[in-house]
Structure 1
Amino acid sequence: MTEPGPDDSSAPDDSSVPGGSSDATGGAAQRSLPAHFREKSPLTDTAGVPWAGRDYTLSPFPEDDGSTPPALADALAVHRRGEDPHRCALVEVLATSRVLVPIMAVATELGATAHGLTGDNGADMAMVSITAPDGSRVLPLFTSVTALSTWRGDARPVPVVAPQAAQAAVQEGCTALLLDPATPTEQGGPILLPRSVLWALAQGRTWIPPHEDPELISVLDQVAAAVGPVTSLVARPGQRSEVDLHLGLVPGLSAEQVQAVVQEISARLGAEPLVAERISSLRLALEG
């Protein structure tokens, strides 16, 4: 599409504008407002609703140009270089960073046109989530408008701070956050922020890796102390899970006794709210 230039004959003249006219000598056009505009009060809008009492909230990011915030870009680079393996620095920066939540139009009402075709009569904007292979829901977050449009060109960005996005994710039943899901593998790929990070951001709490979390370690010690044959229950970074729980047992137990202890430990861990909140996935490993 091209716009008409100054000499383009396709440009409309003033006579084509409602309420406008041009004189024969080429003078300036005289235009007047429609009657309903001339008669309206300056204290109300065109529907007659008063301007007074309205709240116009300023954008919390008035100078945001849609690019990745510099501090967040630096934290991402550090993490992808392997210098922040447990995401501690990244999550700390995220806690005060602007991110973009994607929303899309969802039809709310269908109707038939005069020609018998079915179409949307109404639509709402809804937050987008991703369904993982195990059926859980993940909220995608984006660091920039470019990252969002690369993922879905029809999604609209809503800028919020990451803790607000995490709160929305929890309300929607999401169990994790996925940062920049369209990032190519050669650039490090998307970054999954598990449930422990999600809940820490949503609660405004400093995130600590589970194997270093003193409150969680205290709970694990209590669970271990409640089961006689257990000598230790230690959290360590996992290879295939977020946490490996290394279980120490007294010597001389039969296979059946070991199995019974493992089942009891698993049941006690499952009943601990703090374990569910701060460990996204775990694996029990027998010591020795």
Structure 2
Amino acid sequence: MASNESGTPPQRHLPGHIAAALAGAGGPADSAGQPWAGRSLAGDDARIHNFEDDDGTADAGYLTAVTALRAGRGDEAAVVASLATARVFIPIVAQLAEEAEGQDGLQADKQANMALVTLKAADGRTAMPAFTSAKALAAWHPEARPVAVYAARAALSAVSEGAELLVLDPGAAVTFVVRRPAMWALAQQHDWIPSYTDDVLAGEMRRAAAGFPAVRGLELLPGRGVAAQTADGSVLAGGGAGPELQVVLYLADGLDAAGVQQLVAGLQAEWSRNVLFGERVDSMEIKLRRAVH
């Protein structure tokens, strides 16, 4: 049986418990819970951040986790776990508000509001940038203002903006992408388990596959999109944008191309109806193998 692949970056609706957490936080806000909307460049709004004695350097725990990942001693789950207590910087930029006409008929002074920055990933998804140090943010966008927030707050703000990715330090020596399931877990301050190491998820997917007699086995492995590349060309075993999950299906002989296509479509439909799958899988690729008798 020839190998086949299919990539699936499904769109996911926001689970109710995450939507509730977002509503309770008042939407996109800074570390003090104050919304970005309507901010000016004057007075207290011009302060860089609200963290006392913060020298603007990257969180030590995050640096340790990334160093271990680069050396092959750590994994991406440890990097995400390090963000649970880390401070990051969110870039906000000035946007010109509507000018008002003064009493003399002249235009009044221009007012600048502050806005969160979002990006478009290569696959079209919305991504929010965040930076582990003020220096990294300044190198990326010298005119952006760094506002310090805990990474969990940054993740929650990313969710509120409709972002499916949180991108740490874009343009830096190491850029680490926090994919949607990890971002949601971080926003809720829950632990994150990568889908390719998730035994509970594997059990759910195998139960769904049991309804398809031609499927003789199923294995979950890291997808090609788990890996990320550093600026110097080194490969990291984590931090990529996906697909992060490779599903290996071991099939019985006798299926033609149309039968295989129908089987895979049926399985994907069955998995997509599973709430756990929807929350824990960002995107996947499927490989087909002949079952060993």
Unmatched 5+ stretches in structure 1: 1-58
Correspondences of 1:116-265 after superposition (within 5 Å): 121-183=110-172, 187=173, 189-240=174-225, 241-265=243-267
Shift of 1:95: 1.0
User: Could you tell me how far apart the structure 1 residues matched to 2:108 and 2:171 are?
Assistant: 31
Contact residue 221 and residue 245 of structure 2 kept, 8 A: yes
Report the AA paired with residue 229 of structure 1: A
Residue aligning to 2:61: 71
CA distance in 2, matches of 1:120, 1:231: 71
What TM-score, normalized by structure 1, do the two folds share? 0.71
Given that 1:108 and 1:120 are in contact with CA atoms closer than 8 Å, whether structure 2 keeps it comes out as no
Inter-CA distance 155–120: structure 2 relative to 1 (3 Å threshold): farther
**Structure 1, residues 75-111: CA drift from partner, whole Å, max 9, x if none?**
2222233332x41211111111111111112222135
Amino acid at match of 1:213: D
Deviation at 1:201, TM superposition (A): 0.6
Please give the alpha-carbon distance, in whole angstroms, between the structure 2 residues aligned to 1:222 and 1:119.
66
2:84 to 91, 95, 104: 95
What is the TM-score with the length of structure 2 in the denominator?
0.70
Query: Residues 108, 273 of structure 1: CA spacing in aligned structure 2 closer, same or farther, 3 A cutoff?
Result: farther
Aligned-residue offset at 1:157:
1.3
Please give the per-residue CA displacement for 1:100-142, whole angstroms capped at 9, x wherever unaligned.
1111122221357899997873232111111123321111111
C-alpha distance 255-115 of structure 1, shift in aligned 2 (>3 A)? same
SS at match of 1:110: coil
Quote the residue 1:32 is aligned against. none
User: Conserved in 2, the CA contact under 8 Å of 1:243 and 1:279?
Assistant: yes
SS for the counterpart of 1:284 is strand
Query: Given that residues 75 and 93 in structure 1 are in contact (C-alpha distance below 8 angstroms), is that contact kept between their aligned partners in structure 2?
Result: yes
> C-alpha distance in 2, partners of 1:92/1:133?
26
Q: Percent identity?
A: 37
Aligned to 2:270: 268
User: Which deviations, in whole Å up to 9, do the C-alpha atoms of 1:149-192 show, x marking residues without a partner?
Assistant: 11111111111111111111111100011111121xxx3x3111
1:12 counterpart residue number: none
> How much does 1:270 deviate?
2.6
Matched-pair contact (CA < 8 Å) for 1:223–1:265? yes
CA shift for structure 1 position 207: 1.1
Checking the alignment, whether the CA contact within 8 Å between 1:220 and 1:234 is kept in structure 2 is: no
Paired with 1:102 and 1:119, the residues of 2 have a C-alpha distance of: 28
Residue 233 of structure 1, CA deviation: 2.5
2:285 paired residue number: 283
Deviates further, 68-77 or 88-97: 68-77
Summarize the alignment of residues 31-42 of structure 1 with structure 2, pairs less than 5 Å apart: none
Structure 2: state its 5+ residue gaps.
1-48, 226-242
CA RMSD of aligned residues (A): 2.4
**Contact 1:139 1:176 (C-alpha < 8 Å) held by counterparts:** yes
